[in-house]
Homo-oligomer: A and B are copies of this chain.
Amino acid sequence: MLYLTRVEHFNAAHKLFNPKWDRVRNEEVFGKCANENWHGHNYELYITVKGNPDPDTGFLFDAKKLSNLIKDHVVEKLDHKNLNIDVEFLQGKMCSTENLAIAIWEQLVPHLPHGVALHCVKLYETPRIYVEYFG
């Protein structure tokens, strides 16, 4: 078994804010990430799939097709968006990097072809903070 990773990116605004709490409580918990006027990030997204190489192509999965699949089902919906407002599949969720990674996993799984399994969603919020989800 082999693992193939494709890296994509998107730029988005968000805030960390729990609507069950008042503003003071949100600022206590989330600090400057709770700024009601938003902040944002250049997210780096590593999608890893696993499987066996096809004898005729040598490919586990065509990296160009994997890139297109990520772009169609994830990047198009997140890039230059406000994660708290603009993204249907994040509605009602806290916009932490953790929840974003899980949501990206759920977006991708239905679209992978037979024989290619999603292995890991790795998401950098900044160059020094990232989350990994393995399903």
What residues of chain A have their CB less than 8 Å away from a CB belonging to chain B?
1-9, 11-14, 16, 18, 20, 29-33, 35, 37-42, 48, 53, 56-60, 63-64, 79-82, 85-86, 93-99, 101-102, 125-134
Q: Give Cα distance in the complex from A63 to B126, angstroms.
A: 11
Interface SS of chain A: helix, strand, loop or mixed? mixed
Across-interface contacts of A4 in B (CB, < 8 A): 97-98, 129-131
Q: Would you list the 9 A-B pairs with minimal beta carbon distance, nearest first?
A: A40-B40, A58-B96, A58-B94, A37-B82, A32-B80, A13-B38, A13-B13, A7-B128, A3-B132
Instruction: Check if A35 sits within 8 Å of B86, measured CB to CB.
Output: yes
- The answer to whether B37 and A81 touch across the interface, beta carbons within 8 angstroms, is yes
